[in-house]
Structure 1
């Protein structure tokens, strides 16, 4: 197993790191205090972002897996980029055009024709509803099939970038031949019947808007059903859940980025006061803060490897349901623990606005449930390990 980062992604990672350090960090606190205000500084990044996207596309070739050879593709590129960007600021990363979970889903599931048409759009993703979220099998938003289009009705909450994006992937239930399927439909923002009813005020990632959407008989072409324009009744209901597995590694990557920033800040504080960390020291000779840091670093590396494996499996068309759930669960929970621990280790600095530690602790909480709560991720893991269906293990 080669654990080195593929060289073809070096330029994309380098550009993401530069954006995080030179653009995001300096304005992070400013937009934390002005929720819902669009960061105009992002407009200057248009050419850089275009270059990053083109670099990712040329490096990964396409989001579709090739069976002839093993490869690192679109999802791996997305994961590596998100880790670097989120070291700068999570909310600003979520505010970047073409960097949302909807774009991740398009990169991994869209047909060639859909990639050409929608690949340049800023696409949000809408899953959560007032009474359903992590478990896609309880969604109430419906899609009704007609001869030449689908009609979608329902309400979605907690839609990241819902008021700023060009289009939204709406997850809806559709009934055909006596079976219920849960599928992603791409709905453009100017579609008649789609409206924004509310913007949330949040604990963290405040610069990123979070919207509530209402859909009233939104008619979309059949070609807007992501992946294929037909419902394949030969497939089992559980295949719908697999489409979520493409986004969970991306959420894990965001958590890794924020927690890496916190670890880096604590390391800087420690080395400024006590000198460099010495990995050759015996465990019994370590200070408490050193032992804490080494433990967090080891756990972070484990979460990173889980995330990379989940992305690699998806890029190669292999089942990654268990790995995606493991990566999302571990990275999300670990990020909360790391950022809070770093706040404690930094003492008063960690709880004040002298540093970004307290902001990162607030920001990262959303990643503990974005893309599925801890409880849901553990339930998915249990189903995989025990070979149980959704009906057998709830």
Structure 2
């Protein structure tokens, strides 16, 4: 049974992540927000430290890459708290420092999570140490990943990839790109697979870097694939097309990454709540957790409601991560965590800006930046509408063709 509190064995990791967030990420947060697309060289030292901890076995789940599921055997009587849980907790702390810097951490990208989710053991070893971006979204598909048009055609011992991908996080800086493509459009979603494409592959072109509302330090690229050849063994997981299974293999990536996105949202929301609570206290408005919200100052009542939403998001993230660690199907819970946390962080940061008035709206404080950063977490990895659709299908037992 899940225990609704952070496992104590992860306290050292969480404390270490918090110290990094407070002493490294927060101080350079505004600097790189204003210098969009500049690479934060300060992260190289941090990435090296995480690599060292991971290789020594002391830093399991120290970043977004640590989301590999276990084997097929499951023991329901044993409660496991592994890399999914530790990754969620550490990512939460890092995003309390700065979400954009977290997203641009070398070798901790969403593409690394994709590799960890569906790669074979041989592929894990082959791509160990690579910094992986993830390329899913296309100009004409949006959040409908089943409508992907990028193609991968088998030619001898290679696949030839053609198409365009947009909103590729770290698409310029990463070493490799995990590209979602279809083996056969006629077979629908079942033929969609993910491929690891080296950035220096002939035919892979960086079209442009997007200028964005928030998380500006994280480069977001548009990539063009023109007859890009990759070895057949770079197809992650099994090349078999199973029409009955659909594209469950690549969708398993989302079951691991959506809790992480929820954790990122929780980190930003907590930062905004703490700042606002302290500012209100300076003005003599202290939140009383014993009294009814309706008997307190309106600002305090608002903060209480926002904190309740944060706690709900936090617990949903822990539940979905715990289920992944214990090898239990968590597609519904991962979508719930991502949807709730995405809504919560956008509303929380907007309300906190409102409560803090001029201080919240000014670049003199980070609250303004958190309000801009937060919106992406309600969009990427599946919009709010997509998450609601997934949850409805799971709860009602409907297929994607039955419930659109």
TM-score, length basis structure 1: 0.94
Residue aligning to 1:63: 68
CA distance in 2, matches of 1:362, 1:235: 41
**Uncovered stretches (5+) of structure 2, i.e. residues with no partner:** none
For 1:264-343, what aligned pairs fall within 5 Å after superposition? 264-274=274-284, 277-343=287-353
Q: Does the CA-based 8 Å contact 2:47-2:105 persist in structure 1? A: no
Q: Match of 1:353, SS?
A: coil
1:221 corresponds, among 210, 225, 231, to 231
Contact kept, 8 Å, 1:103 with 1:119, in 2: the verdict is no
CA RMSD after TM alignment: 2.2
> For the residues of structure 2 that align with 1:20 and 1:313, how far apart are their CA atoms?
27
Alpha-carbon separation, structure 2, partners of 1:41 and 1:336: 28
Partner in structure 2 of residue 384 of structure 1: 394
Q: Mean Cα displacement is larger for which, 114-123 or 209-218?
A: 114-123
Q: CA deviation at 1:338?
A: 0.1
Does the Cα contact within 8 Å between 2:294 and 2:301 map onto a contact in 1?
Answer: no
Moved more, 362-371 or 282-291: 282-291
Matches within 5 A, 1:188-227: 188-227=198-237
Note the alpha carbon deviations across 1:33-62, whole angstroms, 9 max, x for none. 111111122223233222454434389998
Secondary structure (helix, strand or coil) at the match of 2:139 reads coil
Residue 362 of structure 1 aligns with which residue? Answer: 372
Which 5+ residue runs of structure 1 have no aligned equivalent? none
The whole-number CA distance in structure 1 between the counterparts of 2:29 and 2:105 is 14
Cα drift, residue 321 of structure 1: 1.4
Aligned-residue offset at 1:268: 1.3
Output one character per residue of 1:201-258: Cα deviation in whole Å (capped at 9) or x when no partner: 1111111110000111211122211223x32436521524343222111111111111
Aligned twin of 2:165:
156
Q: Which runs of 4+ in 1 moved over 6 A?
A: 58-62
Structure 2 CA distance for partners of 1:359 and 1:213, relative to 1, 3 Å: same
Counterparts of 1:26 and 1:62, CA distance in 2: 29
Aligned residue number for residue 251 of structure 2: 241
After alignment, is 306-315 or 159-168 more displaced?
A: 306-315
Q: Which deviations, in whole Å up to 9, do the C-alpha atoms of 1:147-187 show, x marking residues without a partner?
A: 42221111000001000001111011112995641111111
TM-score normalized with structure 2 length:
0.91
Residues 118 and 252, structure 2, Cα contact 8 Å, conserved in 1: no
C-alpha spacing 1:358/1:391, structure 2 compared with 1 (3 Å): same
Partner of 2:34: 33
